């Protein structure tokens, strides 16, 4: 037991170090925690070995990360995304998904593994990207709203596709009828959750508006309940957790409770359990992929997804009225891969869909894409400051 608390102490010191120091030199905290996991884990120093307790804490971290993502996503933004950014989201998801599958096949991966590579490269890093936009003073611009809206849609689409892939893995074969059935269940579950969020949540006035109602605990109950319901019908727990958080909003809860719940879930997700999950990812990474065919796979996947994402999302942003620089910024802002991608990659390894080498390639790809996105957005901010607000921003506001 003492060794467990020793490991936990080391992990918390790493989390604190990543939060305080790495951010000052421009490294996103999630990426810093991942790097520290690689350094402290079996790949380099071997100070911490994976164990059952760390794995349990990491799985709880997945739940809280997804629940927080749902809470941070306002339903109004989601439905605005359907109206304004549907083209940006769909084309910006289809192209990376397709090119990633093509690259995976080119490097010898089977059908299921290639599908999972495409799936991982569709998930966005909206939280990390918006943090960069906020630092650059762009978080309240139409550009940020389109990136947010499109990322919400892409992540939701990714979760639905993930459910379908999990169903195929459990069936053991890639057949049309089972895939359509799992996809149908995912869509129906989404629809039922939207109905429940619209009509059931407002009826829960006591726990959401009464100080004695233990609102924070009740949100956890809803998150776990929706998650287990998703699992019961053959989906994954994270789908339910995301949707449970999505409909916790000001229309059903007091602003004071919303702030408290967001603060508490954020603290657990990004200061305790979530960082343990990100660090634990580093324990499973093999550095062998940085040589030989693995390096070629990594560089090819990174470059093709980067170019495909910018051209697809940026091109669609241009069509809805953005100027060239604004459209470029939208395309660049959609390139980040962290958070949800890392969650899906970890689950893919657990399910046996991908091996350790592919897992490592996907983690390093997410790492590179996040760093490139952060640096490129700073360059876009300079271009935007020189050109001022474009006509595209005005056109989008009018919509």
For 352-378, how does the pLDDT look when each residue is reduced to its tens digit (9 = 90+)?
A: 888 888 888 888 888 888 778 878 888
Residues in Cβ contact with 364 at an 8 Å cutoff, skipping those fewer than 6 apart: 285, 289, 290, 298
* pLDDT bracket for residue 64 (50, 70, 90): confident
Sign of CA dihedral 282, 235, 129, 215: negative
Alpha-carbon distance of 183 to 338, in angstroms, equals 25
User: Each residue of 88-139: pLDDT tens digit?
Assistant: 888 888 999 999 999 999 998 888 889 889 988 988 776 667 667 766 777 6
Looking at residue 243, what is its pLDDT? 76
**Which domains are seen in the chain, by residue range?**
52-398 (1.20.1530.20)
**Residue 56 pLDDT more than 80?**
yes
- Count helices and strands in the chain by DSSP H and E runs: 19, 0
Query: Hey, what are 307's tokens?
Result: 């170019």
* pLDDT bracket for residue 209 (50, 70, 90): low
* pLDDT bracket for residue 76 (50, 70, 90): low
Looking at residue 394, what is its pLDDT? 39
Give the alpha-carbon dihedral of 165, 169, 172, 174, to 10 degrees. Answer: 10
Distances in Å between the Cα of 215 and the Cα atoms of 209, 239, 274 are 8, 21, 22
Give the alpha-carbon dihedral of 48, 53, 57, 63, to 10 degrees. Answer: 130
* Average confidence score pLDDT of the chain: 77
Alpha-carbon distance of 240 to 248, in angstroms, equals 13
* pLDDT bracket for residue 41 (50, 70, 90): confident
Residues in Cβ contact with 57 at an 8 Å cutoff, skipping those fewer than 6 apart: 273, 276, 277
Query: Hey, what are 335's tokens?
Result: 């390139």
- Which is more confidently placed, 198 or 303? 303
Query: Hey, what are 53's tokens?
Result: 């307790």
């Amino acid at each position: 037991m003492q060794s467990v608390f020793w490991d936990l102490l080391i992990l918390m010191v790493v989390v604190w170090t990543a939060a305080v120091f790495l951010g000052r030199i421009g490294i996103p905290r999630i990426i810093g925690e991942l790097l520290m996991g690689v350094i402290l884990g079996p790949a380099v120093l071997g100070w911490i070995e994976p164990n059952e307790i760390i794995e349990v804490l990491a799985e709880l971290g997945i739940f809280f990360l997804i629940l927080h993502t749902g809470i941070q996503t306002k339903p109004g933004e989601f439905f605005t995304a359907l109206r304004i950014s549907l083209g940006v989201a769909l084309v910006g998801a289809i192209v990376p998904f397709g090119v990633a599958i093509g690259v995976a096949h080119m490097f010898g991966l089977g059908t299921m593994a290639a599908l999972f590579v495409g799936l991982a490269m569709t998930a966005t890093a909206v939280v990390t990207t918006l943090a960069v936009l906020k630092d650059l003073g762009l978080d309240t611009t139409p550009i940020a709203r389109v990136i947010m809206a499109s990322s919400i849609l892409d992540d939701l689409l990714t979760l639905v596709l993930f459910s379908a892939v999990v169903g195929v893995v459990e069936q053991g074969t890639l057949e049309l009828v089972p895939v359509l059935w799992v996809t149908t269940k995912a869509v129906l579950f989404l629809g039922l959750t939207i109905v429940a969020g619209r009509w059931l949540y407002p009826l829960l006035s006591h726990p959401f508006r009464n100080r004695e109602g233990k609102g924070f605990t009740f949100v956890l109950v809803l998150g776990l309940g929706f998650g287990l319901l998703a699992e019961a019908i053959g989906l994954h727990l994270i789908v339910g957790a995301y949707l449970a958080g999505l409909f916790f909003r000001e229309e059903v809860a007091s602003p004071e409770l919303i702030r408290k719940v967001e603060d508490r879930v954020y603290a657990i997700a990004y200061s305790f359990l979530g960082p343990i999950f990100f660090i634990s990812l580093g324990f499973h990474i093999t550095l062998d992929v940085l040589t030989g065919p693995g390096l070629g796979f990594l560089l090819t996947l990174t470059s093709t997804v980067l170019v495909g994402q910018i051209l697809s999302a940026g091109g669609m942003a241009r069509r809805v009225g953005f100027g060239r620089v604004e459209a470029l910024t939208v395309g660049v802002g959609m390139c980040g891969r962290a958070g949800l991608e890392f969650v899906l990659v970890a689950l893919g390894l657990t399910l046996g869909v991908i091996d350790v080498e592919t897992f490592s390639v996907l983690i390093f790809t997410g790492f590179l894409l996040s760093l490139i996105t952060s640096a490129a957005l700073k360059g876009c901010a300079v271009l935007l400051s020189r050109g001022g607000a474009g006509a595209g921003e005005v056109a989008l506001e009018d919509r």
